[in-house]
Structure 1
Amino acid sequence: MKIAELRALTGTELEAKGRDLRQELFNLRMRQAAGQLDQPSRLRLIRKEIARVETLLTEMKRKASAPKP
């Protein structure tokens, strides 16, 4: 997903997306260990997607805790 699509999601949806991505990454790593991974580049893409989700969650938390002027 692109960052604009992720920004449209709510905090709970982002957390759920992060959990799903971590589960997918785990499954891909298990397939890699078993030698059955068809697309090794998929690991990198999933890691980057997780980083995007985590970045947005951190942004949301900082905005929520920022002092109001």
Structure 2
Amino acid sequence: MNAQELQTKTPDQLREDLVALKKEAFNLRFQQATGQLENTARMRVVRRDVARVKTVLNHKAAEAAAK
């Protein structure tokens, strides 16, 4: 997921993506705690995707407030 893809989405779609990513991050943390996590790099990718979605949401909110 890159920032350009996220720019085209509506804030509602971004919030849905954020919820899904947070659920995935929770599941990955749970797998890591139980020793079942095989792809540890996925945690980093999900964490960064969450940050990207939050950043785009904040930019959209700032643009809306400026108008």
TM-score (norm 2): 0.96
Please report how far the alpha carbon of residue 30 of structure 1 lies from its aligned counterpart in structure 2 after TM superposition: 0.1
Residue identity matched to 1:35 = G
Identity %: 40
Equivalent residues in 2 for 1:44-55 (5 A)?
A: 44-55=44-55
Does 1:64 pair with 2:53? Answer: no
Please report how far the alpha carbon of residue 43 of structure 1 lies from its aligned counterpart in structure 2 after TM superposition: 0.4
Match of 2:22 in 1: 22
Match of 2:36 in 1: 36
Please report how far the alpha carbon of residue 65 of structure 1 lies from its aligned counterpart in structure 2 after TM superposition: 0.6
Match of 2:4 in 1: 4
Give the RMSD, CA atoms, in angstroms: 0.7
Task: Look up the SS of the partner of 1:52 in the other structure.
Answer: helix
Segments of 5+ residues of structure 2 without an aligned counterpart are none
Find the aligned partners of 1:54 and 1:9 in 2 and give their Cα distance. Answer: 13
- Greater Rg by CA: 1
TM-score (norm 1): 0.94
Please report how far the alpha carbon of residue 8 of structure 1 lies from its aligned counterpart in structure 2 after TM superposition: 1.0
